[in-house]
Amino acid sequence: MSNFLAVDLGAESGRAILGSLADGRLEIAELHRFANTPVRIPAGLYWDTFRLFHEIQEGLRLAGRDRRVALDGVGIDTWGVDFGLIGADGGLVDNPRHYRDARNNAMLETTFERVPREEIFRHTGLQFMQFNSLFQLHAIQRSNPRALAAAEKMLWMPDLFNFWLTGVARAELTIASTSQMYNPVERRWATELLSSLDIPTSILPRIVQPGAFLGPLLPHVAEFAGLGETPVYATGCHDTASAVAAVPATGQDWCYISSGTWSLMGVELDEPVVTGRCLELTFTNEIGAEGKVRLLKNIAGLWLLQECRRAWALEGTEYSYATLAGMANAARPFAAQINPDAFLEPGRLPEKIAGYCRSTHQQPPADAAETARVILESLALRYRQVLEMLESMLGRRLGVIHIVGGGAKNSVLNQLVADATQRTVVAGPTEATAIGNVVIQAMGAGGLRGLAEARDVIRRSFPLTVVEPRSAAGWDAAYERFVSLPR
């Protein structure tokens, strides 16, 4: 039996998951779960980076000292784009900011004044979002240039934690490809683009492949955790890359939705699609396991429901996610639609949704049940729109939608997606990111021969739910209204 520890850090919480691989089957067990709570200070919104590293070490300690497990590997995955700047002494010169920090506002426009939008896309093939690493660096140039001048290395969140675990500073490929600083066609840093923006290319680490061995745990980390010389692997360090590796698909006519705080919807290809049509539709080309390209679109996902739930809790009413899903299922259908991507910054989301409905001449939701229904239906309609975009670029029909990640547990949303798209939905595994993290480590360690074998193991090991579409009644009219909403 081989044992791998997957540390999966999401925007809301983190987990340390033990994955045990034996006889062609994989079992997972959660060892540690912890909150990931950003910190707002007058300067802006930051990740509590040192607390997160403490929790990572606690997960290692639970594996080593409590469970007495000899680990064959450790791998860390996180969300994309955010990074820390490392000085000559190995310490942080700029603590990682949260991608929702207001400092990023207007960075798209100021960057395009230096380099045209089309030129940036030609170099990177990435969709334009104000929090992409390139624009965050441009914000640092404008607001804190001394930090950039003092930086020796730029390390994305999982790379930073790997550095603190091993002392090895590398950029893992899948996380690097989220930065808008990587050229997916030539498979290298887009150094010409960075130079044109006066960003020093010397801060860029050497890129390593998913599954690459980084080094053993540093002695003080291993001693604290009660572990021996434990290898650390650069897994699919971008959480979506790990999640897509765990999609239990066969054939070619499928797409995926990695459903959680964000919804990442796309297909897996052999080569990037860096075309005018891709730019027009704002799709992105990120890299996955085995060099596959993840042609996808970022969609504001269940964060909308998370933020509403937080707002209602502040008002004194606590709802579980299961309760909200049940309330939404019983609520009046097609009462209103919203553009999920119109809501980026946190705070007062139920109020903002009501205001959006009024501004688009729709009746605002009357209560929490109707608000939840509007969110879930609007997500399903957005998935239908993105599905049509994908099919138009690929020139073929996609017959199956695989939904993986925590959102796959939302049976109400799964059924709404099947109904809105009139496609078969396959839901699961729900712990796709951690599972993908484990199998990519196992591929690096030689325990699995590749992605095809890994997906065979996943299909044998985890339950999947097949959801068939019901009647399409009402969905076409709702979709016509949805696509007319302001983008």
CA neighbor of 368 nearest in space, from 308, 307, 447, 279: 308
Backbone angles phi, psi at 376, to 5 degrees: -70, -40
Q: Yes or no: say if 175 and 159 are a contact pair by the CB < 8 Å rule.
A: yes
**Region of residue 80 (left: phi > 0; alpha: psi -120 to 50; beta: else):** beta
Q: What is the distance between the alpha carbons of residues 136 and 199, in angstroms, rounded to a whole number?
A: 11
SS3 148: helix
User: CB burial class (10 A; 0-12, 13-18, 19+) of residue 229?
Assistant: exposed
Q: Please, where are the H alpha helices in 88-151?
A: 107-112, 117-124, 133-143, 145-150
CA neighbor of 53 nearest in space, from 27, 86, 31, 78: 78
Catalytic positions, please? 239
**Strand ranges, E, within 328-428:** 400-404, 424-427
CA neighbor of 13 nearest in space, from 298, 431, 294: 431
Q: What is the distance between the alpha carbons of residues 15 and 78, in angstroms, rounded to a whole number?
A: 11
Any idea what the Cα angle at residue 392 is, between residues 390 and 397, rounded to 5°?
75
Q: Yes or no: say if 179 and 81 are a contact pair by the CB < 8 Å rule.
A: yes
Instruction: Give the number of C-alpha atoms closer than 13 A to the C-alpha of residue 481, restricted to the C-beta side.
Output: 15
CA neighbor of 377 nearest in space, from 343, 418, 344, 319: 418
- Looking up tokens 């595994």 gives 429
Largest CA distance in the chain: 63
Q: What is the distance between the alpha carbons of residues 301 and 212, in angstroms, rounded to a whole number?
A: 31
- Looking up tokens 């340390």 gives 16
